[in-house]
Amino acid sequence: MKHLVAIIQSRQAFFQSAIFMRLSAILLALSAISSLLSAILLALSAIFSLLSAILLALSAISSLYQRFSWHSNKPIAAVCHVAQIFATILEVLKGRVLTAYIACKPEVQVAGAAYIDANLHTDGNLISGHAWPDLPGLMREFIQKLES
């Protein structure tokens, strides 16, 4: 019985100790931080949902503009990952030859176009570049197309 009383007294002493109080305060702070992070994640989720809707609207606008440009034979410049946007409109790339960032090669091929491993390539009104370092040459070719 003395042993049981000693255990109960030591537990009571622990719960009244400064260490227990500090641990309780830390746990309370962690709980508050967790709630704050949860609110931040919820806000970020709402922001990303809004951005997703905006990107979807821009994609539709881009799609209409691209169709207009392709069918009116206006010069179109595409560099790096732009091929991924073109790949959403299958009829514009079918039968074309272009270059793009190497990671975009599968999208180019699925859209029915031929991927060429070059820094710059011109196919009709489409001037394509591999990546941003190719912009000077791409812009020279694009301006020539505009002037002709």
Q: Give residue-wise pLDDT tens across range 61-118.
A: 666 666 666 667 788 888 988 888 777 776 778 889 999 999 989 988 988 899 999 9
Q: Give the residue among 86, 91, 10, 35 at the shortest CA–CA distance from 100.
A: 86
Burial 1-40 (b: 16+ CB within 10 A, else e): eeeeeeeeeeeeeeeeeeeeeeeeeeeeeeeeeeeeeeee
Q: pTM to 2 decimals?
A: 0.54
- Res 116: pLDDT: 95
- Res 5: pLDDT: 58
3 carries an active-site annotation: no
Q: pLDDT of 13-59, one tens digit each?
A: 666 677 777 777 888 888 889 889 988 988 888 888 788 777 766 77
Catalytic residue chosen out of the listed positions 3, 71, 81, 121 = 81
